[in-house]
């Protein structure tokens, strides 16, 4: 995810499989899009946590991701399914295809883009490419970790263990986030991700990676959607359909291409 060493990348994929077990976002997405079969594209599909349930619900789904280790997890989950496709792609630079009814940008990917492009431009580009990939009247669905006070979330220099555990090869490690700062003027988040693996071979692998991200405000997302020809139909702050407020922690947006 962060230009880490291959052994770390594989460990991350296994940790994600172990840790990302919540289904609230998937169930909510399914309720929003409805049961009628649709052609759906998921950006940054990872190991299929969202993609596979969409296929099992009867939709024809395609997933894009550039992480081979994550994509390798999908096949074992798709027995008996002929309506699911996935391939390795850089979602910023590669073509997405077209004629989709729905483009899904979930799993907080709007804040977790991996690209050398200016971060804010990359975020807007996702909206632009979604519009080009959708049929007229198609839907973009965004699920984004969101707060009205990002400084409370991100301005925190202390160490936090994000993942810790043993992968399928027997390598044990942890990923720590520290030194996080937030610039209110630019909505820029800076932090350091530290990986430390104790491999079954006896090798110890350490890597520090500087991470710089842009926290998109709701106003910016609205502006990008509007300028690209979308009309917002539904917007929520959580999976209970509450509006975005001081007490919610997500921005869930369903917008239609006109």
| Mean pLDDT of the residues in the chain | 96
- pLDDT (mean) for 239-255: 98
CB 254 within 8 A of CB 233: yes
Q: For residue range 165-212, list pLDDT tens digits in order.
A: 999 999 999 999 999 999 999 999 999 999 999 999 999 999 999 999
Give the CATH number of domain 6-147+216-257; options: 3.30.300.30, 3.40.50.150, 1.10.10.10, 3.10.20.340.
Answer: 3.40.50.150
Q: Where are the chain's structural domains?
A: 6-147+216-257, 150-213
CB 38 within 8 A of CB 101: yes
Q: How confident is the model at residue 1 (pLDDT cuts 50, 70, 90)?
A: low
This prediction has a pTM of 0.95
Q: How confident is the model at residue 2 (pLDDT cuts 50, 70, 90)?
A: low
CB 139 within 8 A of CB 102: yes
CATH numeric code, 150-213: 2.20.25
Token representation of residue 186 = 């630019």
Q: Give the per-residue pLDDT at 114.
A: 84
The string of DSSP codes covering 192-244 is: EEEEEEE-TTS-EEEEEEEEEEE---HHHHHHHHHHTTEEEEEEESSTT-PPS
Q: How confident is the model at residue 109 (pLDDT cuts 50, 70, 90)?
A: very high
Q: Give the per-residue pLDDT at 228.
A: 96
């Amino acid at each position: 995810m962060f230009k880490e060493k291959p052994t770390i990348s594989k460990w991350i994929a296994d940790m994600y499989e172990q840790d990302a077990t919540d289904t609230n976002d998937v169930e909510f997405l399914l309720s929003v899009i409805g049961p009628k079969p649709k052609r759906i594209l998921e950006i940054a599909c990872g190991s299929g946590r969202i993609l596979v349930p969409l296929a099992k619900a009867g939709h024809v789904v395609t997933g894009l991701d550039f992480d081979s280790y994550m994509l390798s997890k999908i096949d074992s989950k798709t027995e008996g399914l002929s309506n699911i496709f996935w391939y390795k792609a850089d979602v910023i630079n590669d073509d997405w295809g077209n004629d989709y009814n729905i483009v899904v940008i979930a799993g907080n990917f709007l804040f977790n883009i991996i690209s050398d492009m200016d971060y804010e431009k990359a975020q807007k580009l996702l909206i632009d490419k979604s519009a080009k990939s959708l049929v007229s009247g198609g839907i973009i669905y965004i699920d984004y970790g969101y707060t009205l006070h990002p400084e409370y979330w991100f301005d925190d220099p202390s160490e936090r263990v994000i993942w810790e555990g043993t992968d399928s090869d027997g390598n044990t490690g942890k990923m720590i986030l520290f030194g996080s700062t937030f610039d209110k003027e630019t909505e820029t988040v800076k932090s350091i991700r530290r990986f430390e693996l104790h491999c079954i071979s006896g090798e110890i692998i350490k890597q520090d990676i500087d991470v710089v991200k842009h926290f998109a405000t709701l106003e910016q997302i609205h502006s990008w959607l509007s300028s690209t020809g979308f009309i917002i139909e539904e917007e929520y702050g959580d999976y209970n359909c509450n509006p975005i407020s001081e007490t919610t922690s997500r921005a869930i947006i369903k917008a239609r291409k006109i």
